[in-house]
Structure 1
């Protein structure tokens, strides 16, 4: 059975042809683990390796040597059996065979792992013995994430992760050349937006012949997927003697380049985080409180002679320190801005990542303020995206955090980027939703009897709606403001238990896709809940019928 031809080089990866990943992909995906295991084995057997070498070099001088096969030090050891039976040569042959099998396996996995981008979907084929073929429809793309782990950056590569609606539906291309990943991200977003080849061809044609691209660059005539010069080619006209220097220079530029290309967005729309604020906000977070508690427990345990706490709480303290350090490093060099393809979010110090969220993909937004942040006026912003939930890995959960810590002014700017069509109408309600209480600025207020269920937060609890956005505020120790576009609301529900029924109250819940954000008004008058149910259900249908954000580029081009 014949298979479609696979292209190793070319000027573009969104041409409908099958392409391969970067040649270093097998090493970056699984080879690093193998190298780590080999390093661990060698480090633990280094003395035995030296002993074997001495036995082979000086066969008659091993008597009385502590590590000689005649001693008891090697009893029951596999190396003892190999040396004692004269199987050292065969053992070396076996190691060489294993290495050859691994190298061939890595090469086959690279040859068999191909992808292509058409006008309808991104398809990936992989597997040697068991083949898989995954397809992601472009009209269901929820976001594209380009991550560059620190070791992958040494090879000039990046991982492209395309998020689509539905659980476990993401398509991952690990790894591509760094510049090729940025270019492919732009091509996929243009195709997903509904802009066809006649408009996308212009920037592609203009880029042909350029020596470098934004965010690192790719030499002219290089492989489109890897960024490596084609056979016989000279990168950018650089003489062969200076290729190594040019390569090192490009890698340094990639390490220092910002995750957001300054030319993609006006400077006034970009939100940056000062490093001091990132560190201070992390140290004032909940993890630090738990660390203080654990430290007190360890101190009390040691003072009372309960040394067992060292085996239980010390690992927990180490884990918390690692978590705090990870939060700090992932929030450094943070930027968020609006670009023609959507909202671009970049962050990271050594391992970096940038995420692009196309218009109309945000299902819910939540601004939260932890009690210890209140004196500084700091807030964080999370979102719900289709296909990403709290049950995913740490990398997917991190993508739901679009503003680690910012001021109220930063929250306004981020909401303007995430909900651009309703920003002007919603903006007057945001301040009241963040810090207000009662019935100010159009927010409803539950009746006084709600204090029986929410004695401290009933005055702050409330909801409002404007321009197709429903706003829900609640919480005292942890203030929350949730915004849900009605065009992407899944359903609305009223919850009435026996206690609420006796008090004439109800809970109003607005359902969205699974994620860290939940929109629920815990206490509201029953009559108000019934009216809100009818209003939101009707408006959601109207807003969804008029929403065409799945092809945002085609709509903008037509207008």
Structure 2
């Protein structure tokens, strides 16, 4: 179905999208007229029912009595049949006019009967591909595919597809997004078929998947993290939600003992909502798994509604590893990320993929970091965990709070600090609630320095890294002003260098280029990068991470020279030099150098 031609969705799409609501309405109608229908059509089961009550319809005001009294049964049945025909016809037309196609460059979806809509998602901007299987859709062997875009309200949904087609299409989209091309033979073979075989063949597969689990591709690797159900339940019990529930229960008991019943109206709805969220969090994470694939990290969770997403390389903008105080004794941590969700500004639902590790041990955290930061060496990732989560340690590389500002961080001044290593900005804060923010500088949007009146009096400042919106807010405060200025310059320099050498948005092309380079003679290296010189070159990669390289906390680090604007004469001279260097008459490499 990725052959560039227009295709339709699963034949049961109208039923799954809108037909279930119609069935609910019919169920309510039947439930309201249950006794009347039994008395009319099966009177043997209701011998005491007053069948002749319909004769007094004027006093009862019942429309059914009116239909029976005026002998309009056939007319009423005809109206119902016509209404159902119109609804079913609308469902059929909506399915008929809802088509999609997948080309080498984008995914297009057309929908609408009277008002037509066409959406297009460029494949080189794909941030992830979700595959969702609600409980009823799983019974029917169907799944919903959502292509995550890079802008607001940029997601493209294909709902619904058969589970086999959804898995194949997701693999094709990721393969195309990576820069590879699909094989010409057999792309659409077996994907097409009549509606009857599609419906009959997927129901049994859906029942099997409901019992045995998500019928994903058997070639997918196993999860690198296993979360026992007992740990999930215990992590929810050892949380602030449990404390609030217990406090509310005690308040209700005290109010009942003192006959203060208005407290029930204020607290009972809140406690019910919190309890439902508490249970839903456990149920959603029961079948959690995270595993590496050829096209990114695959995250799956959900007991009844199974949700699976493949996060391609370079789509993680910030990582936060945190530990609540109640988890300290168990050594548990949770990992969250910032990523583009492609949702509209009016969508207030929680992005469920921001939590990539609900609860795990230190070893689990290292495995997850290995998937999210594949370019960072294993030794450096272990140092991230040892120094960032459990630190400070001997030879701590973090620049921390100076002595004059310890009054602002009386408990966490030893942990409060930053470090720059392996193209990452590491921000470590908190003693009671430990947090470590890891920001890949290739994904950094901007960096800021904040200083209030108290901070100015103490000679300190706060460093803030700006990324895409998400649960991770990377910042660290109460640092020496000179250290923050040094960090500002260092982060700016490494961010430019990392962004210039990053090609993760087309990861397969980068692999192919590397393979071709290894097979051929290596070209001469480009000239060294000199900032402000106008020379053509590539910024060098950041230096490797060495634990303790930044020295003792607060140690001075020589910042790069400040930026000095050029004079007009120097600007004209540089422009003339650059124009001569890029003159097409000089040689045939002007396009490459520009």
TM-score, length-scaled by structure 1: 0.85
* TM-aligned CA deviation for residue 133 of structure 1: 0.6
Change (3 A) 1:549 1:458: same
Superposed, 1:133-282 pairs within 5 Å as: 133-197=118-182, 200-201=183-184, 221=190, 223=192, 229=197, 248=204, 251-253=207-209, 255-258=211-214, 261=217, 263-265=219-221, 267=222, 270-282=224-236
The superposition leaves residues 402-444 of structure 1 with CA deviations (integer Å, 9 ceiling, x where unpaired) of 1111101101110110010024334312222112248853111
* TM-aligned CA deviation for residue 278 of structure 1: 1.3
The superposition leaves residues 32-87 of structure 1 with CA deviations (integer Å, 9 ceiling, x where unpaired) of 122222212322332343456589x99xx99x939824669973444344444444
Is residue 522 of structure 2 the alignment partner of residue 554 of structure 1? no
The superposition leaves residues 498-533 of structure 1 with CA deviations (integer Å, 9 ceiling, x where unpaired) of 111111111100000111111011221111111111
Contact 2:287-2:300 at 8 Å conserved across structures: yes
Structure 2 spans left out of the alignment, 5+ residues: 515-594
The superposition leaves residues 456-481 of structure 1 with CA deviations (integer Å, 9 ceiling, x where unpaired) of 33332111111101111112332211
| Residue of structure 2 in register with 1:39 after alignment | 27
* TM-aligned CA deviation for residue 249 of structure 1: 5.9
The superposition leaves residues 208-239 of structure 1 with CA deviations (integer Å, 9 ceiling, x where unpaired) of 6xxxxxxxxxxxx4537x99637xxxx9xxxx
Change (3 A) 1:67 1:288: farther
Is residue 309 of structure 2 the alignment partner of residue 340 of structure 1? no
The superposition leaves residues 164-205 of structure 1 with CA deviations (integer Å, 9 ceiling, x where unpaired) of 1111111111110001100100000000000123xx457x57
Contact 1:180-1:227 at 8 Å conserved across structures: no
| Residue of structure 1 in register with 2:89 after alignment | 104
In the aligned structure 2, how far is the partner of 1:356 from the partner of 1:377?
A: 28
Change (3 A) 1:369 1:499: same
Contact 2:401-2:413 at 8 Å conserved across structures: yes
In the aligned structure 2, how far is the partner of 1:249 from the partner of 1:22?
A: 15
RMSD of aligned alpha carbons: 3.0
Superposed, 1:482-521 pairs within 5 Å as: 482-521=437-476
Is residue 523 of structure 2 the alignment partner of residue 523 of structure 1? no
| Residue of structure 2 in register with 1:427 after alignment | 382
* TM-aligned CA deviation for residue 137 of structure 1: 0.7
In the aligned structure 2, how far is the partner of 1:31 from the partner of 1:477?
A: 51
Contact 2:40-2:51 at 8 Å conserved across structures: no
TM-score, length-scaled by structure 2: 0.80
In the aligned structure 1, how far is the partner of 2:343 from the partner of 2:433?
A: 21
Contact 2:154-2:342 at 8 Å conserved across structures: no
The superposition leaves residues 131-187 of structure 1 with CA deviations (integer Å, 9 ceiling, x where unpaired) of 111111111101111111110011101111110111111111111000110010000
Contact 1:48-1:67 at 8 Å conserved across structures: no
Is residue 442 of structure 2 the alignment partner of residue 457 of structure 1? no
| 2:396 counterpart (397, 416, 441) | 441
Change (3 A) 1:317 1:67: farther
SS in 2 for 1:272: coil
Is residue 339 of structure 2 the alignment partner of residue 385 of structure 1? yes
Q: How many residues align?
A: 512
Change (3 A) 1:294 1:423: farther
* TM-aligned CA deviation for residue 99 of structure 1: 0.9
* TM-aligned CA deviation for residue 489 of structure 1: 0.1
| Residue of structure 1 in register with 2:312 after alignment | 358
In the aligned structure 1, how far is the partner of 2:413 from the partner of 2:421?
A: 22
| 1:409 counterpart (354, 357, 363) | 363
In the aligned structure 2, how far is the partner of 1:513 from the partner of 1:506?
A: 23
Contact 2:139-2:206 at 8 Å conserved across structures: no
SS in 2 for 1:196: coil
| 2:11 counterpart (1, 23, 34) | 23
* TM-aligned CA deviation for residue 316 of structure 1: 2.3
In the aligned structure 2, how far is the partner of 1:375 from the partner of 1:523?
A: 28
| 2:238 counterpart (265, 279, 284) | 284
| Residue of structure 2 in register with 1:315 after alignment | 269
In the aligned structure 1, how far is the partner of 2:215 from the partner of 2:377?
A: 26
The superposition leaves residues 247-268 of structure 1 with CA deviations (integer Å, 9 ceiling, x where unpaired) of 5366314641456645333x5x
In the aligned structure 2, how far is the partner of 1:319 from the partner of 1:540?
A: 43
Change (3 A) 1:297 1:94: farther
